[in-house]
Amino acid sequence: MLTHPTIDKLHQLRLSGMVAALQEQARLPEITTLSFEERLGLLVDREMTVRSDKQLRARLSKARLKHAVSAEEIDYRSARGLDKALFHKLLGCGWVDSHQNVVLTGPTGVGKTFLACALANQACRHGATVQYFRVPRLLDQLNLARAEGEIAKLFRQLSRITVIVLDDWGLATHTDQSRRDLLEFFDDRHNTGSTIVTSQIPVEHWHEALGDPTLADAILDRLVHNAHRITLSGESQRKRRAAEEKDANGLAHKAGLA
């Protein structure tokens, strides 16, 4: 039997999924009831699954999301004004395929970043490349790249990312250069990529936050006009969870004294 030489060759070809499937088949007496084509199909299916999982892990690692969360972890019961039907639609990733944007606004602690990361995670599972940035950190990277003569290279790299998360929009103090950088950023991505933006500031105040009316118009024209908007409200989820944990610890303490 050529099982061992075949396995060695499969390892050399980096077909680890087929190796695992072939070894499993060897332990199943009933596998002989399947035709050659059926057994080969099972090997190929396993290899495709393994490769798909590796690619997903690589995309999630490169995304560097602030929260490693999936769609299944979203709590729709919280009273924060989340439109469940709209969010379910966004989880289908049609907005990614159509190069549209998503804007999440609301007070601190209501879960904007959490939801943005869940959408980004879903986009990774959809096959998209993703990258997370806090806006102040992105502007710092652009300034550093400019100082090193690498600004054009960085803009090209950013333009190739399918989905970019911009967290904490509106918190940075803008200069004329930062406004022009944002315009370049969104112009490169317009109708070619998607951006998820989170902000404590309502969209109607973004012009004021950006400063220059002309550049603000140009930036927001590329960001907001083709964006799905989610406006959240309510109390801080972090405070609510902290209160629940405190209550639970208090009950456990009382039970221990009883």
Tens of each residue's pLDDT in the chain, 258 residues: 456 788 888 888 888 888 888 888 888 888 888 888 888 888 898 888 888 888 888 999 999 999 999 888 888 877 678 888 999 999 999 999 999 999 999 999 888 999 999 999 999 999 999 999 999 999 999 999 999 999 999 999 999 999 999 999 988 788 999 999 999 999 999 999 999 999 999 999 999 899 889 999 999 999 999 999 999 987 665 555 554 555 555 555 565 665
Picking from 158, 168, 65, the residue whose alpha carbon sits closest to that of residue 120 is 65
Q: What is the pLDDT of residue 192?
A: 94
Residues 124, 129, 135, 141, Cα dihedral to 10°: 140
Segment (H or E) for 133? strand 130-134
CA distance 16 to 46: 9
Q: What is the pLDDT of residue 1?
A: 45
pTM for the full predicted model: 0.79
Residue ranges, comma separated, of all CATH 3.40.50.300 domains in the chain are 64-239
Q: What is the pLDDT of residue 22?
A: 84
Residue type, 59: R
CATH of domain 64-239: 3.40.50.300
CA-to-CA dists, residue 174 to 20, 150, 199, angstroms? 54, 21, 15
Picking from 179, 196, 176, the residue whose alpha carbon sits closest to that of residue 187 is 179
